């Protein structure tokens, strides 16, 4: 049986890493909730209203497949900006 000593430095670094991991998980969870709310909201409006916003139904699904590190709202805005005037 070996005895391991835990120094304050090891405890500090591990708690910092745990907080960072926790913050990352929380951010990913919030982004998943935001994507689900966006998909629900945009899925309930008509195709004409989506077109007025510069979007089509496929854009909603495509934006939800981006990595969670990228906000889907920003991707939808970029798609809509690129499509304005092209109808």
Residue range 65-84, pLDDT digits in tens: 888 888 888 888 888 888 76
Does 5 fall in a domain?
no
Does 59 fall in a domain?
yes
Residue range 2-42, pLDDT digits in tens: 666 555 555 555 777 788 888 889 998 998 898 899 889 98
- Please tell me the total count of domains within the chain: 1
Pull the structure tokens for residue 28: 């990913």
pTM (two decimals): 0.65
**Domain encompassing residue 78:** 10-83
Q: Could you tell me which of 72, 75, 77 has the C-alpha nearest to residue 35? A: 72
Radius of gyration of the chain (CA): 21
CA distance 62 to 51: 16
**Do 71 and 34 meet the contact criterion of CB atoms below 8 Å apart?**
yes
**Do 79 and 55 meet the contact criterion of CB atoms below 8 Å apart?**
yes
């Amino acid at each position: 049986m070996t005895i391991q000593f835990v120094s304050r430095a090891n405890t500090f670094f591990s708690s910092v890493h745990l907080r960072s991991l926790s913050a990352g998980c929380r951010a990913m969870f919030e982004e998943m909730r935001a994507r689900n709310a966006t998909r629900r909201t945009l899925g309930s409006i008509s195709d004409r209203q989506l077109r007025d916003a510069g979007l089509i139904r496929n854009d909603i699904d495509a934006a939800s497949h981006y990595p969670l590190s990228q906000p889907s709202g920003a991707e939808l805005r970029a798609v809509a900006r690129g499509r304005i005037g092209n109808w």
